[in-house]
Structure formats: structure tokens, C-alpha cells
Structure 1
Amino acid sequence: MNTYSLRHKLILSLIAIFSATVGTFAQTGPVSPAHLGFIYPISSNGKDAAKYTNRFSFHALAGLSKAETGAAIAGISNVIRDSATGFQLAGISNHTGNTYKSVQVAGILNHTIHKGSGVQFAGIANYAGSFQGLQSAGFINVATKDATGLQLAGFMNHAGDSAIQIGGFINTAKNANVQIAGFINVASSANTQIAGFINVAKKVKHVQIGFINIADSADVQLGIVNINKRGEKQISASIDESATTIAAFKTGGRYLYGILGVGYNWKNSDALYALQAGIGAHIPLLSHFRLNVEATHTTLTKFKKGYYGRSTLGVFPAYRFGNRIEVFAGPTINYVFYSEGLGAGLNNNFMWSRIRDNNNFQGVFIGATGGVQVKLF
């Protein structure tokens, strides 16, 4: 029999043993100070191994028991049909039918049907009905009801309710306190969401931080695109002193908003296309008058060699006509960096400038921007 066939049959037999024995035994039974063996039923407890509570277990391949109160160590798998307190170490998997307390370490999977508390470490996945403590997995952590401690996963964390989730790619929860993910966080309600790309929730109590933030309601959204049913969505058109025109989509809450725009420069002899991103803040002053403070970065390109970048901080007094149309204009302070002479003639009145090797230029100047924006709904 080849190695793959033997391993396949062994895994199937472990699953069958676990499925057949979990939850079917009474809480009373014999106690053994030590359970030693090769694989069920070749062990010191023999065919009755599933009835024993052990203070210590060691199996070359896999062990079966009712409960473990100390250390359980197996080369492949520990199958514990009721509860485990202490330490479980297995080369592939640990399976607990009811509850476990303390530490589980497995090369691939830790699996607790009902409730776990303590620590789970697995190379691929941790699974528990509910969990208190720490889950750490190379791929996925799952707590179907709630996770009141911390979940860490290289790919995904999932929980009904969660205190803290930290995932390399995605976190999902019904209710979450803190979610931190490299790509996406999804929750029905959350206190704080921080993602490298997108946050999605119905209700956010504190803050969403990401490139895209989506919520029915949120106290603070800090991103480039913010979709908030109770917030503002505006389309704006602006022009600055260098004749760069930008059409931008501005979205956010009552105070903070994100800016994403595209445009064109009319002054340069060669065609220059613009891309702009940034964040802004509304400062209310009167019923129809406010200050808009914006920090943006604008890139100009002709899709060939050379680079032009402009970082801008602007303060724009804005007056609203009616409920939708707003005009704004104000001063800006700008830091410009360009190479290969791209956009060299756009600004000349620099407060400070410097030319580095390879014709790389940087400088600071005072400018101005004005425009109009329309509230969508």
C-alpha cells in the first residue's frame, strides 16, 4: 500500500471515530494517570479508550479519549470527544467535542465543536463554536458564535461577535469591536475598522480608515472614497494658478471627506493629464458659509518618461447657494517634485527650490485654487 493511500485511510478513520463518538457519552467514566499508545485501539486503554479521562496522553500516531486534564501529544492527531484542559500538541490536528481550556497547537487544524478558551495555534485553520482568548492560524480562524479575545490569521478571520480581528486579507463579523485587515473588513456593526482597501458596515460607532469606506452611518470615515447614507456626496470642478483643471468626487461625513479626481493641464505645451487624491475637512461657520480645508496630491503625466507630483494644502472659504451649489476659492501652499523637466514651466515663483542630480527638481510655492461643487443628494 503506498504512502498516500495509507495516509488517506488514516485521516478518514480519524474523522469517522470523531464523528461517531462526540457527544454520545455520559460525563462519568474511569480516570487514567497516563494513556500511551500507537493508534486507537492499540494503546494502554485499548478499545475502551473513548471512556477514559487521562491526565497525560502520548501516541505515536493518533489517540482517542473522553477527556484530557493534562498534556495530550500525538504524532498526527488527538481526538477528544468531550473536554480538554491542559495542553494538546499534534502534528496535524486536534479535535475536541465539547470544550477545551488552555493551549492547542497543531500543524494543520484545531477543531472544537462547542466552546474554546485559551490559545489555539494552527498552520492552516482554527475552528470553534465560540472562543475566548487567542486564535492564530496561517490561513483562517473561525468562531461561529463569538470571539471575545483576539483572532490572527494570514488570510481570514470570521466570527459572530468579535473583540479584535487581525487578518492579512479579510475579516468578517456580525458585531466587531476592532477589525484590522490588509484588504477588507465586513461587519453588521463595528466600533473601529481599519483596512488597506475597503471597509463595509451598516453602523460604525467610531471610525473607518481605508481607501474605500462604506456604511449606513459612521462617526468618522477617513479614506479617499467614503459612502455614508448620512454624509455628503459632491461633484466639483476646480482650476488652479497653473491652469490644471480637476473634476473630483468628494464623499464623506459631516466633517471629514475624501477626494478623488481626474483632470487636464491647459498651460503646458504637451498634453498633461492629472490624477488627484486627498482628504478634506468641513469647518462650519454660518448657515451657508464654511471653510473647506483640503490636503491633496496631484500627479501630472503624459504617459511617457518623466514625473510631476504636487502635494497641496489649501484653505477654501465656501459659500452655498440654496441646498446644493457651492462656490469656493482660496490660497494653497504646495510642494512640487518633477523629473526630466516634465511641467517645468508651470510654476516659477518658488519660495524655496532645489535641483538634484539627473534634473530632479523640488520646490515650494504659494498658489490659489477656485471652483464650484454640487451636492448630489
Structure 2
Amino acid sequence: MRHDGSGYMALFNCLMVAGAMLTGLTCVAQPYLASEIAVNRADTQRLGDLLDGISKQQGFYFAYNSDALDADRRVDIPYYRGSLVGFLEQLLGPDYVYKESPGYLIIRYAPRLMDLTVHVEQRRGRPLVVEGQVKDASDGTVINQASIYERNVLVSTLSGPTGNFRLSFRRPNETIWLTVSKENYRDTTLALLLPVEVGSKPAARRYWFLPEDDGGRGLEGTALGRFFTNSKQRIQRINLDGFFAYNAYQISFTPGISSQGLFNSQVVNQASLNIVGGHTAGVNGVEVGGLFNVNQRDVRYFQTAGLFNLVGRNVEGVQIAGISNIVVGDVSGIQVSGVSNRSGDVTGMQLSGVFNVAADVRGVQLAGLVNIADSSDYPIGLVNLVKNGRRRVGIGVDGVGMVQLAFRSGGRVLYGLVGVGYNPGGGAERYGLETGLGTRLVTAGILGLDAEVTNRVSTGFKKRTLSQLAMRLLPQLHIGRHWSVAAGPALTYGHPDNEGERSRTARVGLYGGLSYGW
């Protein structure tokens, strides 16, 4: 500890150097490492299989980086009975440390130790300042880009090329818990005990460790995610290794100008306001962005942005964007956008002006043009490219002699239709463009029954055009795997759009055709 004789005064009574890794920061009990286990195997086995067997017995999952822990390594543990932590130390050796999170035991490779020196000072009426330096404990070399943070007030920074750092605290608690994290190093914590202010009461805060179970393909697996995640945030994420905190609110002007500073991508907020745009760990309430919102993990309840929302994991609730919603994980709720929605599995609804993209959809996809999904029973769009759905190209003729080439595509229940037509009998409206929506009412072996509602605009490319609404009931006969024949009644209603004429016509006719499906 250094003392500056230029008028600065120390505001702490003592400095306790923990010098060891944090064994967990959650407020829940930590029974995993202390639990008793028994291993009795006469043969060698994969390390990954051994850990999987223990996790199933104990009711939690092991989380680890496959680059740091070889799951394919053969191990021979003929017999062990005792605590889990003793078994892991015997199995892996002294270079690994462990952190507990509800449902997970995180194994982290950390063979090296850090040495931390600090200097605390304050001028009257100014914030408390903590300066220091981070070094390697074994050889004294300085450590660059280590994360230094206070988990209660969510102040954070990175060490510089000389290992030095500086943190400023406007309203410090009675105790400052200063933690230093760096990849391949054990976490080091200092407790700075400040003078007690009568009547002061530190606010409670929730924080936890969450394993990176997306294989690094989450937010940074997208082009926008990489663009809006700067190098300091990437280093912070690696150093903190799954550490996240919960806070009531945050305000950002841009991702780099935030009330939570460099710590913004590690904090889940209940309320988040981003004037231009913001980058946070997640939302558990409401988030509003002037232009965009970027979230490293999950979003719950409500999110809206003028241009786009980008979420690295899952969304639960309502998500609205002027242009696009992009969710790397799954959506449970409603996505609404002016142009496009992209996500994994969807339980609920996707609504967009142009196109939707999803994996498995248990709900409705509604798009102005195209829906794309692995499975979607209720896609509503002109073109629906559903992997396990049905696509048909067919030719048909209606009661007025219009010959139409149509493409039908969709899921198990609903499908879209888009087609072009030509009336060889001539007339003022010999060319037609038709769009519509159909549903499969019955599918029974080689027989089926479809119903369609379509709208066709016919024109001769002069003044006269005809808009015609049609409702069809089409019995189907399937011939082999690909071909089918349909024929049935059609009720049409239309009126010509022509100067001085607004007559409306309704007729009952027939529609029939042949189609090829796959």
C-alpha cells in the first residue's frame, strides 16, 4: 500500500487480500462441490463420459471449455468415495478451479496467480479513486487487459499495457469488493473497508455465473453482433467467464456511452433506455431503443427499437422493430417488424412486412412475401418455403377460360398461392396475376380436400382492369407420390375498374387442374 503525501487521504481501515478465486457469487446454497460421490469402475473411460455420469447422479451439469479440458482423454479411477471437490482435484490436478451456478458446476482452467497492488485516494467533494497495478504472481510481469470490477456498484475497467488501472466510485459502499479476472488466471479479490456512514445501507444486488452453452456462436456469431461488440467487450466477456449481474435500470446514448460503462454487456437490466442504441447482457422487463438494441443473452417481456433488435440467445414476450428482429436462439411470444424477423424455434407469432425466417414454428408466420422455416403449419404469405412442408407447381383452368400457372407452398395446414394466367379466348382482360391463401381440410390416403381464397387482377395493359375475388372448394386425387388432380366449384365476385363503369358480377363456376408436388 502506498501513501501519497499531497493532500490525499486514505478512506479505508484495512486491506484484506483474498488472493484466491471466487468459489461462487450467488446467494443460494452451494451443495455441489461438498456433495458425497462414489466411483467404482474397473476399466478406463472417457473423461467426458465420467463427468456426464456424475452430473446425472447429482442433478446438475458440468460446463467447461473443450479447448482447456480434453473430454476424450481416457482416465482410470478404479475407486473413489468422498466429496466431489476432492474427486475433481484428484482427477484434474491443481490447475483447475470451480464455480457453482444453479444447475451448473463450471470447470475453469486457471493455473496462474495474480498479484494486485492498489492505492485509494479522494479529494473533498470528489469521487473516490482506486488506482493499482496487476502483475503475474510468479515472475512479476505486468498483465495487460485484465478485468477489474466492483460487483456491487457495477464499475469496471481493463488494465493497460503496464498493468495499471484506475476506477472511480461516486457513491461507494462501506466495503469495496475489488475483483480481478483474466483468462488462465485465478480470480483475485480485495476487500477495501471504508469508514462507516451512519444510516447508509448498501443496496442488495443479484449476480450469478452462467455457462457459455452456445459454443461462442451467439451474438458474435452474427455480422451485426461482431460489429456492435468492440474488442474491450470481447476481452471482458472472456475474462469474466460467465459472470453476470442484475440491475434495476440502465441508460445508454450509444453502446460506448452508458450509465454502466464497460460493464454494460455483463448486466441484465429490468428497464433499459437506449437513446441511439445500447449493448447490454439482457433485459428482464422493458427495453426501448431509439435506433437499435443489442443484447448478449436473453430478453424477456417487451423490447422495441426504431430500426432493429439483436438478441444473442432467447426472447420471451413481445419484440417490435421498425426494420428487423434478429434472435440467435428461440422466441416464445410475438415478433413484429417492418421488413424481417429471424430466429430459431418460435412458439407464438412472427409478423413482418416482407419475410420471416425461423426453425420450428408452433404458431403463425405472417409475411407480406416469404416465410422460411424448418416446420410451420400455419404460414401466411405468398411464398412459404417450409422444409417439411409441401410445394406444388400446377396448371389450372377456371370457368371463364383463364389458363393459370400457379405455385402453391406451405405447411401441413395452410399454404400460399401465387400465379400468372392467360386467357387464350381473348377479351380485354386476357392477362392475370393471382395471389391467395389455401388450407388443407382433409388428407386421407390418395384423397384430399382443399379450400382456397384468391384475388386476381386481370388486365389488357390498357385502361380496363378486372379485380376478382374467388372462393374454391377443391377435392384432390393424388396419383403416385408427386402428381395430383383437383376439380371443384368456385364462387367468384368481381368488378371492372373502368371509367364510367362500376358494375359488379358474381358467378358460380368450376376450377380444375393438374399439379406436381414435392
Q: Letter of the 2:248 partner, please give it.
A: S
The percent of aligned pairs where both chains have the same amino acid is: 26
1:161 and 2:303 aligned: no
Matches within 5 A, 1:44-55: 44-46=125-127, 48=129
RMSD: 3.4
**Structure 2 CA distance for partners of 1:208 and 1:314, relative to 1, 3 Å:** same
Give the structure 1 partner of residue 284 of structure 2.
Answer: 132
1:197 and 2:339 aligned: no
**Structure 2 CA distance for partners of 1:84 and 1:373, relative to 1, 3 Å:** farther
1:123 and 2:269 aligned: no
Equivalent-residue separation in structure 1 for 2:449 and 2:339 (angstroms): 33
Q: Letter of the 1:372 partner, please give it.
A: L
Deviations 1:69-94 (A, max 9, x none): 9xxxxxxxxxxxxx9999xxxxxxxx
Shift of 1:49: 8.6
Give the structure 2 partner of residue 265 of structure 1.
Answer: 423
Shift of 1:228: 1.2
1:361 and 2:503 aligned: yes
Shift of 1:158: 0.9
Q: SS of the counterpart of 1:48?
A: strand
Contact 2:378 2:415 in 1 (8 A): no
- Gap regions ≥5 residues in structure 1: 1-24, 31-40, 55-63, 70-82, 87-95, 342-357
Shift of 1:150: 1.7
The total of aligned residue pairs comes to 295
Q: SS of the counterpart of 1:312?
A: strand
Q: Letter of the 1:156 partner, please give it.
A: F
- Which has the higher mean CA deviation after the structures are superposed, 171-180 or 226-235? 171-180
Q: TM-score, normalization: structure 1?
A: 0.69
**Structure 2 CA distance for partners of 1:298 and 1:312, relative to 1, 3 Å:** same
Equivalent-residue separation in structure 1 for 2:279 and 2:441 (angstroms): 48
Q: Letter of the 2:353 partner, please give it.
A: G
Q: 1:172 aligns with which of 299, 303, 326?
A: 326
Contact 2:377 2:413 in 1 (8 A): no
1:144 and 2:299 aligned: no
Contact 1:84 1:101 in 2 (8 A): no
**Structure 2 CA distance for partners of 1:42 and 1:236, relative to 1, 3 Å:** farther
Shift of 1:153: 0.6
1:228 and 2:386 aligned: yes
Equivalent-residue separation in structure 1 for 2:270 and 2:285 (angstroms): 5
Equivalent-residue separation in structure 2 for 1:84 and 1:156 (angstroms): 34
Give the structure 1 partner of residue 454 of structure 2.
Answer: 296
- Which has the higher mean CA deviation after the structures are superposed, 284-293 or 127-136? 284-293
Contact 2:274 2:293 in 1 (8 A): no
Q: TM-score, normalization: structure 2?
A: 0.51
Give the structure 1 partner of residue 344 of structure 2.
Answer: 188
Q: Letter of the 1:366 partner, please give it.
A: V
Deviations 1:17-43 (A, max 9, x none): xxxxxxxx99xx99xxxxxxxxxx999
Shift of 1:311: 0.7
**Structure 2 CA distance for partners of 1:231 and 1:100, relative to 1, 3 Å:** closer
Give the structure 1 partner of residue 408 of structure 2.
Answer: 250
**Structure 2 CA distance for partners of 1:161 and 1:285, relative to 1, 3 Å:** closer
Larger radius of gyration: 2
Deviations 1:308-335 (A, max 9, x none): 1101111011111122211111111112
**Structure 2 CA distance for partners of 1:43 and 1:303, relative to 1, 3 Å:** farther
Q: Letter of the 1:102 partner, please give it.
A: A
Give the structure 2 partner of residue 322 of structure 1.
Answer: 480
Q: SS of the counterpart of 1:368?
A: strand
Matches within 5 A, 1:43-122: 44-46=125-127, 48=129, 65-66=168-169, 99=245, 101-105=247-251, 111=258, 112-122=264-274
The structure with the greater share of residues assigned to strand is: 1
Q: SS of the counterpart of 1:158?
A: strand
Q: SS of the counterpart of 1:113?
A: helix
Deviations 1:210-236 (A, max 9, x none): 131111122322222111121111011
Equivalent-residue separation in structure 2 for 1:262 and 1:146 (angstroms): 44
**Structure 2 CA distance for partners of 1:232 and 1:107, relative to 1, 3 Å:** same
Give the structure 1 partner of residue 33 of structure 2.
Answer: none
Shift of 1:268: 3.4
Q: Letter of the 1:339 partner, please give it.
A: D
Shift of 1:47: 6.7
Equivalent-residue separation in structure 2 for 1:311 and 1:257 (angstroms): 17
Q: 1:208 aligns with which of 357, 365, 368?
A: 365
Deviations 1:271-328 (A, max 9, x none): 6211111111112253111111000001112223233110111101111112221111
**Structure 2 CA distance for partners of 1:286 and 1:145, relative to 1, 3 Å:** closer
